[in-house]
Structure 1
């Protein structure tokens, strides 16, 4: 046999083996258990049908279609072949369908075309939830863990807090597998809504948990006038930063008033109302308290100034008599 002919034939075979490497997308394709996937080729329908279309999986034949179809019994009710483009539809997917699929197409009068693509089959995600030990959390005293659980094929877990990516810090860390957030200790800023998004290429779920951190009271303050006219109605309002909301009590000039809410009301300002008002905020969970003081004076009106001037004038007059 002519050596040049043999060499030419070998090159043609190699060219034929590689001619269609691009007829399938680069992949991988993703499918869900019990779902359907379609292996689509880049070929357009031709006037003359393909001489042969053959699909295989892990070296075993799925279907070979020439003038007749030869289908592996395991796929007889699970596949549909588009003879015009060579595309294959695979139904009722299972995890064992994950792997490399190969197609070989022989056009009428053309070189052999082929392609390979990987299919990954996933179990859809269900039942996503964030679990945390049942406990009353107190700022700087308690610690906790938040664990993200779900069923299905989990590819990624992404943690957020109050809708933003979770920021790690000295007291906030993640387990090596990204499943658990460790908060040690909890701070006032640790409270809020935590979200865990679990996903794979075919499904995603987001679980949420609201974390309550008990703190305070801090920044107790009294809102109200520092002076008021005689006869005026005066309202003093006490506020404090606290979770849960603080309980309030009032003292006047060091004495209990038996007013146990955030508002102290003086119906009519009088001389007996002048003095120091102390509001104490108490948190019944943290067992802490914090106080604020307001000194209320009587405002001097026009008659008051006239009387004062009269006293001053009388004093000066006596000096020169």
Structure 2
């Protein structure tokens, strides 16, 4: 029997196989501090195996024989559980040093020896994911500045990095947006207005994942100006003209009527009661204090000849008077 055990262990250590592998295709992944299960493909049996042996990196750490000559390496005694009906093995309290090839050799009663090999990769869970900007204090101006963002983790084996902007995958563009080979660094040169926003980086490995976020401020504009309001207004009504522009930071506003400063410095120009004197060209001028850029747009407001808001009342009185006159005729 001792000769049989020695022969069994020799097969395990040498990695020889009799028939197909009794372990599924790997590799198997586990988290440091966690547990994994090496499951064989054997069906549970009521007839005890003649022998079961597991080895790691050429060193036998657990054996079981039908004679009761069991052996468990002292370093694994508190960390392993063997299912004697299938030969499957649970390994607990994983450490990074547990990564490597595991070999199993099982001799069922009345059958040939069966073997299998499985690679185990143990990963440290990712913690402390972050996006950093080495030039975070620099003022970025669209079309003039460059930016670099770095995605990393405080601990853990990072296998992949995925970048997103405002929740959407961020794709490279050969002329302006590029990544380092490991996607750790994001380069933008130059930054444009569409680079302003929230960036996310998802770092992951086989056992864990974390997402970090970073708000990147790109100063731009003013651009895409417009004035929303009527181009014709009846006398006596209230008129609102709203000026808008894409700009970071928000711009300052200034209104002029036919070239004359109106002293209105808000985005909305209000004509409380339309009169002929209010007709003309309204110019909205916006300034960005950071980019030092200025832009303006114009809308022409015409006064129509419609009656003022009280004309309906007047018409009603006149119609009543006419009606009374007809009745007296």
CA distance, structure 2, for counterparts of residue 302 and residue 280 of structure 1 = 33
Q: Deviations over 1:138-184 (max 9, x none)?
A: 11011111100102111111222233321111110011221000000
Supply the distance in 2 between the matched residues of 1:61 and 1:294 (Cα, whole angstroms). 87
TM-score by length of 1: 0.85
Query: How far is the alpha carbon of 1:302 from its aligned partner?
Result: 7.5
**Do structure 1's residue 190 and structure 2's residue 195 form an aligned pair?**
yes
CA deviation string 1:232-257 (max 9, x = no partner): 22222111121222211111222221
2:72 corresponds to: 71
Superposed displacement of residue 224, structure 1: 2.1
After TM superposition, give the deviation of residue 293 of structure 1 in Å: 1.6
Q: Report what 1:210 is aligned to.
A: 215
Deviates more, 1:32-41 or 1:215-224: 215-224
Residues 11-33 of structure 1: CA deviation (Å, up to 9, x unaligned): xx9xxx53353211111111111
SS at match of 2:129: strand
Cα separation, 1, equivalents of 2:223 and 2:216: 20
1:26 is matched with 25
- Equivalent in 138, 156, 175 of residue 160 of structure 2: 156
Are positions 1:281 and 2:281 aligned together?
Answer: no
Structure 1 residue 74: Cα displacement: 1.3
What is the root-mean-square deviation of aligned Cα atoms in Å? 1.8
Aligned to 2:125: 124
**Residue pairs, 1:129-278, within 5 angstroms:** 129-132=130-133, 133-134=135-136, 135-150=138-153, 151-169=155-173, 170-278=175-283
Count of residues paired in the alignment? 288
Q: Distance in 2 between matches of 1:166 and 1:83?
A: 51
1-side partners of 2:47 and 2:233: how far apart?
102
- Farther off after superposition, 99-108 or 212-221: 212-221
The answer to whether the Cα contact below 8 Å between 1:230 and 1:269 also exists between their aligned partners in 2 is yes
Where structure 1 has 5 or more consecutive residues not aligned to the other structure, the ranges are 1-12, 304-321
Q: 2:63 aligned with 1:60, yes or no?
A: no
SS of aligned partner of 2:128: strand
| Partner SS for 2:41 | coil
